[in-house]
Amino acid sequence: MAAEKPHLNLAVIGHIDHGKSTFVGRLMYDAGAVPPHIIEKYKEEAKQKGKESFAFAWVMDSLKEERERGITIDIAHKRFDTEKYYFTVVDCPGHRDFVKNMITGASQADAAVLVVAAPDGVMAQTKEHIFLSRTLGINQLIVAINKMDAANYDEKRYKEVVEQVSGILKMIGYKPNEIPFIPISAFFGDNVLNRSDKTPWYNGPTMMEALNNLKEPEKPSNLPLRIPVEDAYTISGIGTVPVGRVETGVMKKGDKVIFMPGGASGEVKSIEMHHEEIPQAVPGDNIGWNVRGIGKNDVRRGDVCGHVDNPPKVADEFVGQIVVLQHPSAITAGYTPVFHAHTAQIACQLIQLNKKLDPKTGQVKEENPTFLKAGDAAIVTIKPTKPMVIEPVKEIPQLGRFAIRDMGMTIAAGMCMSVKQK
């Protein structure tokens, strides 16, 4: 059996109607990931209606219709391959739970494609999504300047939009000169898989080449050990077995570990993955492990396991940078929503609103604002209502992000800048 290719999660971001769904459809179609029987079925229908040359559009429309009618089809998995990687397309920001899933690690994106329609250029959500990507720790971007067909494949217009997008990327902290910009038409397929003869002035990579050139995310093995606990089981003959995914660091059999905030500690007796005992666990491994002397009541979901000599930080207070995504009215000091960070869900109070930032530039707009509303970015001081592990993103990015939820919605996304420990 051939070795499995490395896997990347890909987010597709950008303003509404700029062509994100069409782009995903085009990727799947060009990568050969739409099942042939579905293509055949729609091609046949298109032919019967005399619309053969629009086979792709036909496939897209038909898939959309099926989606709308709630029919589950293979494409829903949204998996496609390039030569080097296999990709899963994760939901995009407008969708329910996207931010929460990214933060809790359920669908952390390794890279994002930002779709900007050439006729419109940069719009409100283009900026919001760039800021959000940064907050969520997506380090690799590809920019698709889409709908080039609707801009006469004009080089001048392309360059204008590239200029606009570069300005914003730079302000938010991305390096535009390290990011590929590609003129495409998702609809007609220009420069997605096949190099377009309509953009002779462009000699950069096609979309598939740019995806294939992404860097494989590094395994953070050299950071301190952190394993957020998803659950803890009692197994007869073994004892208490916490389960979770190693976020950072390496845990070996015999290591002395501690569970925070509770503080129970002991020596690792065994580590198990896929029902087999393993000598050590590395980032990305989903494991169950057994620690000498740890009982059922010493460990629970939301705890974090680390080495005794470098334990997870428990915050009495912490300072966070947040971006408010949606809120029906205004957020003021005293607001106490639920924070989701790694596997923990804990009510926390915003005890102080320190600074309001310009979400487009990150610059300070106002000191000590009285309230925050949707679209605002801010630095705030936060007090958990009970002990909680959170770490500065600068030190351990995987343990430094949080989503703020209330009323069944994700109100804000944020990252921890500093921690005042108990």
List, as residue ranges, the binding site: 14-21, 91-95, 146-149
State the nearest-atom distance from the C-beta of 80 to ligand GDP, in Å: 17
Kindly state the smallest distance separating residue 309's Cβ from ligand GDP, in Å. 49
- Measured from the CB atom, the residue of 9 and 125 that comes closer to ligand GDP is 125
Distance of closest approach, residue 149 Cβ to ligand GDP, in angstroms: 5
Taking phi over 0 as left and psi of -120 to 50 as alpha, with beta for the rest, 12 belongs to: beta
Q: Which is nearer to ligand GDP, 100 or 147 (CB)?
A: 147
Shortest distance in whole angstroms from residue 228 CB to ligand GDP: 33
Cα 298 to Cα 314: distance, rounded to the nearest angstrom: 16
Cβ proximity to ligand GDP, 195 vs 269, nearer residue: 195
Of the pair 76, 238, the CB lying nearest ligand GDP is at 76
Instruction: Count the neighbouring beta carbons within 10 Å of the beta carbon of residue 77.
Output: 12
Identify the bridge partners of residue 267 per DSSP, sorted by sequence position: 256
Q: Which residues contact 308 (CB under 8 A, 6 or more apart)?
A: 256, 257, 258, 265
Are β-strands 377-384 and 344-357 bridged in parallel, bridged antiparallel, or unpaired? antiparallel
Count of Cβ atoms closer than 10 Å to residue 214 Cβ = 20
Q: How far is CA 11 from CA 21, 122, 156, 181, 184, in A?
A: 12, 18, 28, 16, 18
What would the two tokens of residue 225 be?
């050990």
User: In the complex, what is the shortest distance from the CB of residue 81 to ligand GDP, in angstroms, rounded to a whole number?
Assistant: 22
Q: Is 386 exposed, middle or buried (0-12, 13-18, 19+ CB in 10 A)?
A: exposed
Sites of contact with ligand GDP (CB under 6 A): 14, 16-22, 146-147, 149-150, 185-187
> Closest separation between CB of residue 277 and ligand GDP, Å?
46
Strand extents, DSSP E, 33-85: 79-81
Torsion on CA atoms 212, 215, 220, 223, rounded to nearest 10: -170
Q: Least CB distance from residue 56 to ligand GDP, whole Å?
A: 11
DSSP H/E element including 171: helix 155-172
Known binding-site residue numbers for Mg(2+)? 21
Tell how far CA 130 is from the center of its chain.
Answer: 12
CB of 57 to ligand GDP, least distance (A): 7
Which residue, 196 or 410, has its beta carbon nearer to ligand GDP? 196
**Closest to 14 measured CA to CA, from 102, 119, 94, 101:** 94
CA-based nearest residue to 226, from 294, 304, 285 = 304
User: Which residue's CB is nearer to ligand GDP, number 22 or number 321?
Assistant: 22
Instruction: Give me the least distance between CB of 196 and ligand GDP, in Å please.
Output: 11
Q: Between the CA of residue 39 and those of 19, 29, 62, 162, 188, what are the distances in Å?
A: 21, 9, 10, 34, 16
**What's the distance, Cα to Cα, between the start and end of the chain in Å?**
52
Q: Which of residues 131 and 187 has its CB atom nearest to ligand GDP in the complex?
A: 187
Point out the annotated binding site for GTP: 14-21, 91-95, 146-149
19 or 242: whose CB is closer to ligand GDP? Answer: 19
What's the rounded Cα separation, in Å, for the pair 56 and 243? 45
**Nearer of residues 63 and 346 to ligand GDP, judged by Cβ:** 63
